[in-house]
Copies of this chain bind each other. A is one copy, B any other.
Amino acid sequence: MSMNTLLEKITTYQNPTVAGLDPKLDYIPEYIKEAAFSRSDDPLDAAAQALLDFNKGLIDALCDIVPAVKPQAAYYEMYGWQGMRALTETIAYAHEKGMYVIIDGKRNDIGSTMEAYAAAHLGTTMVNGREAAAFGGDCLTVNGYLGSDGITPLLKLCRERDKSIFVLVKTSNPSSGELQDRKLGEKTVYEAMAEMCEAWGEQALGRYGYTSVGAVVGATYPEQLKELRTKAPHTFFLVPGYGAQGGGAKDVAHAFDKNGLGAIINSSRGIMCAYKKESCDEKDYAQAARREALRMKADIMSEIKEIRLP
């Protein structure tokens, strides 16, 4: 699925949000863990099964109201190859349910190594004359510190296979300024990175005015969001930091253009752990996630009113 398709889904659902699937074991209801642990003697395999079962429940409850999911690779890698298998199965299940999948891997390397990451997460690979997809995501988060050599291998898949990427520009964490806010002459490092995103995206401009090369810009830095929305007009934003990290609807409102497009806002813990916040029965975790997703949608839409395709 292309970035265009993501924008269409956002418009259809009138919901510019993405559910982060960062399934820490602590977030998973006991009944799911107990069932998974009883099925496997291998701790990593048992954990991976719990992750997958938890995710499937969330996807079922969200797929008709939320356009996309964003699994965070780290929480799957933590359980080794068994966890990576759960990631693969989560992505396949989300696709079955029609969701757009952003793999949050923040991958970065150069040349043929970056091509290997691109094949892994967005493309396919040939083995003995047969084509196989490894993870099969629609979109991957990447780190541009290495420059064009790290991004160019992905642009081919963006053009030829309708895939997309989000490049880290201004991240949501407190220490993001240590490097990103420093001045390169007139400009900050994050502005320079945003300009590179605009340049990389030029060869992959979509029909709604945004390219396949998006940027990660944190909700916790609303002034920078506003500044970057103007300076990078063709760059779609993935915005972490809403909710648990402190960003509110008024903060993220700066990420949108006059059509209510321009960004997708992530919530991970808020949605996954809604059942804990509500103190409802843990077996109701998926419906609690749905209630929180609807609340978040209403919160953000109260600022941007309507989303229209240009």
Given contacts A80-B134, A110-B171, contact A178 B147 (CB under 8 A): yes
Mask, A168-200, CB within 8 Å of B = 1, is 100111111111101111000100110010000
Q: Top 6 nearest A-B pairs by Cβ distance? A: A147-B175, A80-B134, A147-B178, A43-B127, A74-B116, A81-B84
Q: How far is the CB of A203 from chain B (nearest CB, A)?
A: 16
Check A149 against B173 for contact (C-beta < 8 Å).
yes
Q: How far is the CB of A43 from chain B (nearest CB, A)?
A: 4
Check B127 against A25 for contact (C-beta < 8 Å).
yes
A168 to B132, CA, bound (A): 31
Check A80 against B173 for contact (C-beta < 8 Å).
no
| Given A80-B84, A81-B87: 18 more A-B contacts, CB < 8 Å | A47-B125, A74-B109, A75-B113, A77-B121, A77-B135, A81-B84, A81-B85, A83-B134, A84-B84, A146-B168, A147-B173, A148-B178, A149-B173, A149-B174, A179-B189, A179-B193, A183-B184, A189-B189
A182 to B131, CA, bound (A): 41
Check B125 against A79 for contact (C-beta < 8 Å).
yes
Contact of A46 among B44, B128, B133 (CB under 8 A): B128
Beta-carbon contacts under 8 Å, A120-145 to B = 120-121, 125, 127-128, 130-135, 143-145
- Name the residue among A82, A131, A146 with the largest chain B CB count within 10 angstroms: A146
A interface majority secondary structure: helix
A172 to B149, CA, bound (A): 10
Q: Which residues of chain B have C-beta atoms less than 8 A from A183's C-beta?
A: 184-185
Asked whether any CB of chain B lies closer than 8 Å to the CB of A78, the reply is yes
A83 to B120, CA, bound (A): 10
Q: Which residues of chain B have C-beta atoms less than 8 A from A74's C-beta?
A: 107, 109, 113-114, 116-117, 120
Q: Which residues of chain B have C-beta atoms less than 8 A from A121's C-beta?
A: 77
Number of A residues, CB within 8 Å of B: 73
Check A78 against B176 for contact (C-beta < 8 Å).
no
Chain B residue nearest to A113 in the complex (CB): B74
Check B111 against A108 for contact (C-beta < 8 Å).
no
A117 to B79, CA, bound (A): 10
Q: Which residues of chain B have C-beta atoms less than 8 A from A125's C-beta?
A: 47, 78-79
- Name the residue among A79, A109, A183 with the largest chain B CB count within 10 angstroms: A109
Task: Provide a sorted-by-A list of 19 A–B residue pairs whose CB atoms are within 8 angstroms.
Answer: A25-B127, A44-B134, A77-B117, A79-B127, A79-B134, A80-B84, A80-B88, A80-B120, A80-B134, A106-B108, A106-B109, A110-B172, A143-B145, A145-B171, A148-B178, A149-B174, A150-B173, A178-B196, A183-B184
Beta-carbon contacts under 8 Å, A260-290 to B = none
Asked whether any CB of chain B lies closer than 8 Å to the CB of A9, the reply is no
